[in-house]
Amino acid sequence: MGRGSSIACQLVVGYHGGRDGHAGIATGMDSRVGVKETMPGWNLGSGDSPHSVSAQHIQSIDADAEPALFIAPSIPCPDIVHPRLFALKASCSQNASSVRLLPASPSSVTSPLAFGHSQACPSQQEANTTIAHSDLKQRERAQRFANLPAAYHAGFTAFDRSIIDEPIEDLVEGVQSGAVSARAVLQTYGKVALNAQEKTNCVTELLLPEAEKWADEEVNLKGPLAGIPVSLKDSIQVKGFDTSVGYTRYTGKPATEDGGLVKLLKDAGTVDWNFSSRHCGAIPYAKTALPITLLSFESSNPLWGVCRNPHVHDYSPGGSSGGEGALIALGGRIGVGSDVAGSVRVPAAWSGIYSLRCSTGRWPKAGVSTSMAGQEGVPSVFSPMARTLGDLTYFTRSIIQMQPWKYDTTVHPISWRDDEENDAKTKKLRIGVMKSDGVVPPAPAIARAIDTTRAALAAAGHTLVDITPPPTATPLIGLNLASQLLNSDGCQTFNSHMRTGETSDPGADKLTRYANMCRPFRYLYYLYVRYIKRDKVWAYLMKDFGLKTSTQLWKLVAQREAYRATWHNWWNAKEQSYDFILCPVNATPALPHGAMRDGFSSCGYTFLFNMLDYSAGVVPVGHVDRTKDALVTSDGRPAKKNSYKRILKELGADNTVSRGAWKYYDADAMHGLPTAVQIVGGRWHEERVLGYMEVVERALGEFKTPNGDVYPSASERWTKCCLTRGTRGVVSLPWPDFELARS
């Protein structure tokens, strides 16, 4: 395509009826059209009379404005990110410095504007296959959002706010009694998805308007989740939609039927099990972002783009279930993610929501795709995520009471045990505290969250004891063993799904390079790290990392079982006998985009409990404070740039894993990001862990700081991101001044 060529693109834009409509920006356009967002320095106009548009032209749409026309691209040129953008950036090999809106052709049904630019753009035939598939899927997604009925694009009403704030247990009662319709609830959460997508790019496949039909015809509106919209990680199979898992290779291949998990969620009784008439009635409404490879605490891929943190957009929402974290934090209610090294817990901690990592066999996983099918060294589990603890508990209980083992052969027939949940939340507890795993010490903001929670639990009358893990099964030994088990194929499987030229996650890319070092070079690298760099931790982790034979893998599995037995015996010994372990979810709050190139190995606080297969939950505690959580040296002075290395040396943790995480710790830039703690119970102790989480929540709610401040209640701790915005993301509630001594 030559220079000066004009590319036609149907752009249907505008809001009618807003009080702040910006008149006269584009000649010939209705003066009532309001501009929501444009790109600074672009030229918008009609015919030969372009009008310069700068940042001053950006207008806010009136919440009550009625959306009339929306984006509907007709060719793969625009790089569409937000479905409500007025102007779109041209996807070209060169900068599009001059962009015009030209009169539409008379044949256009909706009288759209045409889109053109004067810069050279590569032809579609010459485009890389990966880029072509990415363009196609992103255009399809934008058009699905754009084509939603006008009601989905309207502002949030008082009714919407009441639905968003309603616990799902109460909402179910409303649907079952007829006080509210499932369609109305779905429409509210469709607005939530649209709003969250604009802010964070968290949705991959929008399941609307098909979900409206499911609400009318397929789901059981008398079930325990009657009419409740549920979001799903992109790897979960839904009939009629791709299950791409972030790989372009799997686009254009929609599933021919729902996976077992989705069937359970929306089952309306079409399957007669003879032994159960109880059906769920939930309505899937969106599939959400994840990283390519699924092995990252980022959630970005070449197919769908970068998913942003709902609180501070320059940071990751976590991974690999980061899209779930972002959507739920921005007003979603419940969702399902997966976890092989922390993938539902880290997004919960980094996005400020709740999650439960179930032990293998407690939560269904039939009908899903993965980047590492057949990997059983550290099995992946699917697990629930929610905006409130009450919803998380109700959701988990409802699914297990549905007898999921009748839908999925991987689920153990363990019924819900109310007595264990009640016992856990009504007695005085003995709690083990693991503030550090001995590999990566917690950064100041995370240390403060642990100290705050510890003080609150002690004030509530519980006993807390610092733990020392068994010397033959330390967290470092566990990290080494789990890493070798997970990547025993030499990282071949998750790379096998990529097309030539497809970009991998930077952390997974490093894992691949390390795993494929030839044996002599690996040994030389080990000697260099161990004796020249004097990094015993990284040398230990790298020495045997890589492709394993069947014999070697079997030996690793035997070591895993011995490791599990050691922890089991240690935990249940009389001198321990902890009800649960309190520890960080991750050593740092959310890391910035791209940080996985250095921080990919900082996963020990969650990965350990995947290998042990323990049930573990996440409870939000607070937010990073630029003053209280700033790095300081041992003499109390503010740390300068790169002083983290000196601090890590003082802490005896100067290793590659710690440096990779602490390198990005900046309390000022991280101000407002969530902090959280992890509650770890025994294997198949989901009921107890949820009960313990309620104990922690209640203790924090009743806790008074030394200066008399009261910790915010659970309802106050939800920052209403979907309704309130600040210049850096979410406007958070103020937090009490916790002045606790750090151990």
Question: Which residues are known catalytic residues?
Answer: 233, 320, 343
Residue 51 CB partners (closer than 8 Å, separation 6+): 24, 25, 26, 27, 43, 44, 45
Asked whether 677 and 606 are in contact (CB, 8 A), the reply is no
Sign of the dihedral defined by the CA atoms of residues 341, 347, 350, 356, in that order: negative
- For residue 109, what are the contacts with CB-CB under 8 A and spacing of at least 6? none
| Residue 711: alpha-carbon gap to chain centroid | 26
Closest CA to 699 of 297, 364, 363, 431: 431
For 323, the enclosing helix (H) or strand (E) is helix 322-329
Phi/psi class of residue 508: alpha, beta or left (left: φ > 0; alpha: ψ in -120 to 50)? alpha
Task: Single out the residue of 233, 479, 234, 489 nearest to residue 341, CA to CA.
Answer: 479
- What is the spatial distance between Cα 743 and Cα 741, in angstroms, rounded to a whole number? 6
Tokens of 696: 């922690």
DSSP 386-455: ESSHHHHHHHHHHHHHT-GGGT-TTS------HHHHHHHHHS--EEEE-S--SSSPPPHHHHHHHHHHHH
Q: Are the C-beta atoms of 306 and 585 separated by less than 8 Å?
A: no
Is the separation of the CB atoms in 610 and 618 below 8 Å? no
Cis bond before residue 224 (omega within 30° of 0) = no
Q: How far is CA 585 from each of CA 360, 433, 576, 588, rounded to the nearest angstrom?
A: 19, 13, 22, 9
With residues binned 3-state (H G I as helix, E B as strand, rest as coil), the percentages for the chain, rounded to 5, are 35, 15, 50
Distances (CA, A) of 52 to 21, 24, 40, 493, 546: 18, 12, 9, 50, 56
Other Cβ atoms within 10 Å of 606 Cβ, number:
26
Cis-peptide into 320, omega within 30 deg: yes
DSSP string for residues in 80-117:
---TT-SS-EE--SS----EEEEPPPTT-TT-PBEEEE
Which two tokens mark 204?
């991959």
* Integer angstrom CA distances of residue 197 from 45, 55, 310, 657: 28, 22, 10, 33
